[in-house]
Amino acid sequence: MRESVQAEVMMSFLVSEELSFRIPVELRYDAGDPYAVRLTFHLPGDAPVTWAFGRELLLDGINKPCGEGDVHVAPTSPDELSDVHIRLQVGSDRALFRAGAAPLVAFLDRTDRIVPLGQERSLGDFEGSLEEALDRILSEARQNEQNAG
């Protein structure tokens, strides 16, 4: 079973109303952290910057404005599925990006095949139960080994 998905999309980095440029952004989802998506922005002349935030926030933001705090996601037009604004903020510094909704939806669809939305918690419980069972098996094996030796 695949445990992660990646995609690269081109986004516009909106510096001002007059200035923007396109940059590659890597999208990554890992089943080991089932609630989060990671976006790595490759800005020219700078080291890549990675932001992690809720997968559900990205999904909801494609259709309606959402997000509190450092990450806001909103459709550029409330009437049609076209582009999405992603605003990232640290203190008073802000960066605004514009992405096509279609590649984001395609990426999110692939994440849903790994861990369906709403099933993140059951995945975590399964992993915890598996780890507990493995610890118990290893402990019993060590005990049997000691008793035999």
Q: Which of 102, 110, 104 is nearest to 86 (CA)?
A: 104
Each residue of 43-96: pLDDT tens digit? 888 899 999 999 999 999 999 999 988 999 999 987 777 899 999 999 889 999
Which two structure tokens, joined as six digits, stand for 14? 């909106």
pTM for this entry: 0.77
Q: Taking 70 as the threshold, does the pLDDT of residue 129 lie above it?
A: no
The pLDDT of residue 127: 53
Please state at what angle helix 55-63 crosses helix 101-114, rounded to 10 degrees: 140
